[in-house]
Amino acid sequence: MKKIFLAAGLIVLFSAAITVFPEKAAAQPDASMEINTAGQQAAATASETRAKRYFDAGEKLFKKRQYEEAFKYFGAAARLNPKDKEAWKKAAFCAYQLKRHNVAFNAFKKVLALDDSDKEAKDFMDFYKTMQEKAVKKQEPREMTGPLWRSALLPGWGQVYNNQTVKGILFGSAFLTSLGLTIYNINDASLKYNRYINTNENHDIAFKEAEDSNNTAIMWAVILGAVYAGNLVDAALNYDSLDAMSVTLRPKNSGFFIAASAGW
């Protein structure tokens, strides 16, 4: 009977040992894992520090407008710290100035991937989309009749259709002004002529006033015709003008701002 109890006790102790020892082993930290983690953190910190140095060096060159060298430093900073939005953005600015538009486009895409609300990157992407649309339009056949009938219907409209907005506004304004003055002087000449017919005194003076108003009306009618004809000729000659409107980038402090300009 004692042997049975002794065997049972050994079985219980053995089972407890199997249960306790793994728990104690599991509770001990894995030294190699800690070393690897610490090494990764140190490497990441070192990379970020190097990236910051590269970025600062790029900033100095950027302010001096040495875009080729600045691009290299910003690119190195972005490679070492891929989540650095400003490094990607400055690299894109440099690429634009160097006319490497594909590089700039992809860099701005990266900026928006990191921050989809970045205004400068969004403005640049809109700018590049406009460039792409113009490139597509250049492949599309255009005919002279498009701007011509528009200018015939409303002077200046054909120029706007040709992407020459400033010229269109000038033609439209000149036409409306000369039309208004022509109508005014025709009415004024008519009134003064009737006054001359019905007056009983100072006929010479009344006739001279009517004649002057009539000559002024003729002058403005000639100007009106010249503006209208010039508007038609200009619209026809520039029917394939697609680059009159442009968007440019101008340096400002450490960055750029987008400026729209309308061509003549």
* Helix (H), strand (E) at residue 90: helix 85-97
Q: What is the pLDDT along the chain (264 residues), one digit of tens a residue?
A: 444 444 444 444 445 444 444 444 444 555 555 545 544 555 556 777 888 899 999 999 999 999 999 999 999 999 989 999 999 999 999 999 998 988 988 999 999 999 999 998 888 888 888 877 776 666 666 778 888 899 999 999 998 888 888 899 999 999 999 999 999 999 998 998 888 888 777 778 888 888 898 999 999 999 999 999 999 999 988 877 654 444 444 444 444 444 444 445
Which of 231, 60, 67 has its CA nearest to residue 152?
Answer: 231
Give the C-alpha separation, 147 to 176, whole Å.
Answer: 19
Query: Coil, strand or helix: which one is 251?
Result: strand
Decide: residue 16, CB within 10 A, 0-12 exposed, 13-18 middle, 19+ buried.
exposed
Give the C-alpha separation, 80 to 72, whole Å.
Answer: 12
Which neighbouring-strand residues pair with 245? Answer: 262
In the DSSP assignment, the letter for residue 263 is -
Contacts 24+ apart (CB under 8 A), 142-149: 142/239, 142/240, 143/239, 144/236, 144/239, 146/239, 147/235, 147/236, 147/238, 147/239, 148/232, 148/235, 148/236, 148/239
Give the C-alpha separation, 259 to 247, whole Å.
Answer: 6
Cα 85 to the chain's mean position, in Å? 19
Which neighbouring-strand residues pair with 257? Answer: 250
- pLDDT of 30: 55
- pLDDT of 209: 87
Q: List, in order, residues 6 or more apart from 129 with CB less than 8 Å away.
A: none
Q: What is the pTM assigned to this prediction?
A: 0.46
Which of 165, 167, 168, 142 has its CA nearest to residue 246?
Answer: 165
DSSP letter string, 190-210: HHHHHHHHH-SS-HHHHHHHH
Q: Does domain 34-139 have CATH number 3.40.50.150?
A: no
- pLDDT of 18: 43
In order of 119, 188, 240, the CA distances from 50 in angstroms are 28, 81, 52
Cα-Cα-Cα-Cα dihedral of 226, 231, 236, 241, to 10°?
Answer: 140
- pLDDT of 251: 43
